[in-house]
Amino acid sequence: MVGVGAGWPPKRAVHPASTSASAKPRWRTLGLMGWPPRVDGVMLALGARGVPTRAKVGPSRLRPLCRVTLFIGICAPARPGAARGIKSRSGEMSEAFRLQLIERPEGRVEALAIGYARAMAALPFGAEELSGLLADGQFARVGQALYAALFPEGELREALAQALAVSRSERRPLVVEVRFDAEARALPRYPWELIHDGQSFLVADGAVALVRALDCALAPVPGPLEGPLRVLVASPRPADLDLAGDRTQSPVLKALDALRKEGLLRVDAVSPPTATALGEVLGRATYQIVHFDGAAVLAAGTAANLIFEDEFAASAPVGREALGNPLFLSRAALVVLTPAPGCEGAPAALAALAPELVRAGVPAVVAVQHALGAEQIQRLVAQLYCSLAGLVPLGEAVALARGQLLPADSTRFAPVVYLQDGEGEGRLFTGKAEPASPEPLRRLPHPPGRVSAGYRPEPVFVDRAEAVAQALRAIAEPGARACLWGLGGVGKTAVAREVVRRGAWRFPGGVIWLGLQGGRSLAAILAEIADFYRALKGLAPVLEEARRQVATLLSERVASAGDLLLVLDNYEDVAADGDLQAFLAGLPAGVHVLATSRSQPAGEGWQCLELRAMAASDLERILRRKLEAGRIAV
């Protein structure tokens, strides 16, 4: 139902007859005389909060109220014999007027006001026309049409103005709830957050906090919060997606880090960022919020998919069918969907997926429906979670977060908020927000192994996705030896760095990056390996004995911690060293080897992957991405 009100919906809506003269004033929602008016086939009703008498209330009686609740219903059709009122958790009845907005063929909408009347009307715009107007930047025109549909001229719009005046005097946004019927598929795709009163975008202006709901989904009871909020973040960045900016940094995790250090949040990150890993973590621990920070796509038939990674860092689209069950069983109260920087098509897909997750049983979903930069996402997320950690109602928390977005051109599309609000306060949690001792960020269920100091990530990695996937597959096998080879300057080391960053979760025993440029002796290599584990006080002076010491050390690490990876960068400079070859041949199966070389390595057991020179267009794209990320000074 579309509810408009500061603090809407009421916690308990009561029938007038159920309130005695001695009872304390409580929330009351009353049908109005002469309502609803008929405007373009849409039926509307008005209610008020804080009425201490049993008198019927009209628009002229709203002025003395301290707070006004205005609501419009967009609900599923009533079943035969259904009561006109809405039953609250207390068993009391409300005489709230219910309006049902039901999709019909040929772009028509049936408006059914239970107990009053019905009418047919056309949607403001067809899907194609709406897309064209938005593509042309006609945001104000679209917003004004949507505003006219929700708040037609007359007493209803006047009452809205009064309610806005009251909420502004209290320096709070006016909460507007829009409820869609069970079968609605087109209506949730309209950008209702764009409503424009002819002067400004009300949601972007902060005057209105618009919250959506589905009539087909149940509203859970707000859960008690014991300790800080627990947040699980999935930040997939598939190698085959052309994303701008620094892939190694998630603006969401960066924003949450300060709150984590203050003890307001417990933050875990999904590692690796696959759908399987997400389900595994949700099955093992309880989280109040699950945050997806990545790409999404609208598939055939307008179905929306989140883009996770597969185990080899390639794109893996996952739809509502696969996500709904683990999210529902996890009992998470809120799912937040934010697009990765540079994902132009992701916001529309995230907004389309939000109602599907609600239908699957998720109580609340927040989805950013406009492309944002990394700094904007960071500001929005930081404010949102700061408010939620303080137990601020969701609608108000999103309104405060949206206020952090600058410049104004990027704020027209406010985040989509779906909230199945059973108590009427918009609160997801109950209790008292108290900070606790900070805990470190955990990466679950497979944390990446420790990486040696010789490694540094490649922050701007463009193209070569196929080479990364091939190398990850090659080193996945027990005892695998893979070599990236090609002419100097083709990007072998960059690919190896990306493979380490994405594949470190496979090697809980650690990743040892050995730079071999110019040639290094086996003794120096053995000393670096021993120093990485800090397990040997000193190596034997005899090379053969030192080699056995390190081989034994690696075997023990594999047995206690798990597989490990040796990276031999510029392997061609030491390939002729017989002692090194003997050492590599004697490694246990749990030690994997990845080499980079200008020539194919001799001997058996190597899986060689050739890298060729990149096209000029690819080189240009790399330079452009590095420039955007600030990695090149101009």
Check residue 448 and report its DSSP letter. Answer: P
Global pTM value: 0.80
Q: Answer whether residue 340 is part of any domain.
A: yes
Distance CA 244, CA 145 (A): 35
* Total count of residues recorded for the chain: 634
123 versus 110: the higher-pLDDT residue is 123
Q: pLDDT digits over 249-265, tens only?
A: 899 999 999 999 999 99
Tell me the average pLDDT across 440-455. Answer: 95
534: pLDDT strictly greater than 80:
yes
CB-CB contact of 472 with 502 (8 Å) = yes
484: pLDDT strictly greater than 70:
yes
99: pLDDT strictly greater than 50:
no
- Return the pLDDT at 420: 81
- Return the pLDDT at 308: 97
Q: How confident is the model at residue 505 (pLDDT cuts 50, 70, 90)?
A: very high
75 and 187 both lie in a single domain: yes
Taken in order 37, 40, 43, 47, the sign of the CA dihedral is negative
* Domain CATH code at residue 467: 3.40.50.300
Domain boundary, last residue among 195, 214, 233: 214
633: pLDDT strictly greater than 70:
no
452 and 555 both lie in a single domain: yes
Q: Look up tokens 């206020």; give the residue.
A: 403
CB-CB contact of 49 with 7 (8 Å) = yes
Amino acid (1-letter code) at residue 392: V
303 and 278 both lie in a single domain: yes
34 versus 462: the higher-pLDDT residue is 462
CB-CB contact of 54 with 14 (8 Å) = no
Taken in order 336, 342, 348, 353, the sign of the CA dihedral is negative
CB-CB contact of 514 with 567 (8 Å) = yes
199 and 108 both lie in a single domain: yes
- Return the pLDDT at 224: 82
440 versus 432: the higher-pLDDT residue is 440
Q: Answer whether residue 467 is part of any domain.
A: yes
Q: Answer whether residue 415 is part of any domain.
A: no
Q: Answer whether residue 614 is part of any domain.
A: yes
Number of Cβ within 10 Å of residue 161's Cβ equals 12
- Return the pLDDT at 7: 36
186 and 276 both lie in a single domain: no
336 and 271 both lie in a single domain: yes
Residues 445-462 as b/e (b if ≥16 CB within 10 A, e otherwise) read: bbebbbbbeebeebbbbb
- Return the pLDDT at 345: 76
Q: Answer whether residue 318 is part of any domain.
A: yes
435 and 463 both lie in a single domain: no
Q: Domain count of the chain?
A: 3
169 and 258 both lie in a single domain: no
Peptide bond into 459 cis (omega under 30): no
487 and 343 both lie in a single domain: no
Q: Look up tokens 């050390």; give the residue.
A: 553
Mean pLDDT of the chain: 77
391 and 483 both lie in a single domain: no
318 and 375 both lie in a single domain: yes
Amino acid (1-letter code) at residue 625: R
* Domain CATH code at residue 367: 3.40.50
Distance CA 331, CA 49 (A): 32
CB-CB contact of 262 with 203 (8 Å) = no
Coil, strand or helix at 191: coil
CA nearest to 367, candidates 391, 394, 392, 389? 394
Q: pLDDT digits over 29-81, tens only?
A: 323 333 333 333 333 333 333 322 222 223 333 322 222 333 333 333 333 33
CB-CB contact of 181 with 75 (8 Å) = yes
Q: Answer whether residue 417 is part of any domain.
A: no
CB-CB contact of 421 with 378 (8 Å) = no
Amino acid (1-letter code) at residue 213: A
Residues contacting 407, CB < 8 A, separation 6+: none
CB-CB contact of 589 with 551 (8 Å) = no
Distance CA 444, CA 363 (A): 24
* Residue-range definition of the domain harbouring residue 243: 223-407+424-444
Of the chain, the percentage scoring pLDDT greater than 70 comes to 73
Peptide bond into 188 cis (omega under 30): no
162: pLDDT strictly greater than 50:
yes
Q: How confident is the model at residue 445 (pLDDT cuts 50, 70, 90)?
A: very high
409: pLDDT strictly greater than 60:
no
Q: What is the CA radius of gyration of the chain?
A: 30
Number of Cβ within 10 Å of residue 80's Cβ equals 5
- Return the pLDDT at 86: 28
Number of Cβ within 10 Å of residue 283's Cβ equals 11
CA nearest to 113, candidates 80, 69, 153, 73? 73
* Token digits of residue 511: 């990743």
473 and 542 both lie in a single domain: yes
Domain boundary, last residue among 186, 214, 242: 214
Q: pLDDT digits over 538-580, tens only?
A: 889 999 999 999 999 999 999 999 999 999 999 999 999 999 9
- Return the pLDDT at 364: 93
Peptide bond into 272 cis (omega under 30): yes
Distance CA 501, CA 222 (A): 39
Q: Answer whether residue 509 is part of any domain.
A: yes
Of the ranges 272-286, 403-417, 602-616, which one carries the lowest mean pLDDT score?
403-417
Of the ranges 283-297, 337-351, 595-609, which one carries the lowest mean pLDDT score?
337-351
- Return the pLDDT at 357: 92
Q: Answer whether residue 560 is part of any domain.
A: yes
Q: How much of the chain is helix, strand and coil, in % rounded to 5?
A: 30, 20, 45
Distance CA 24, CA 486 (A): 81
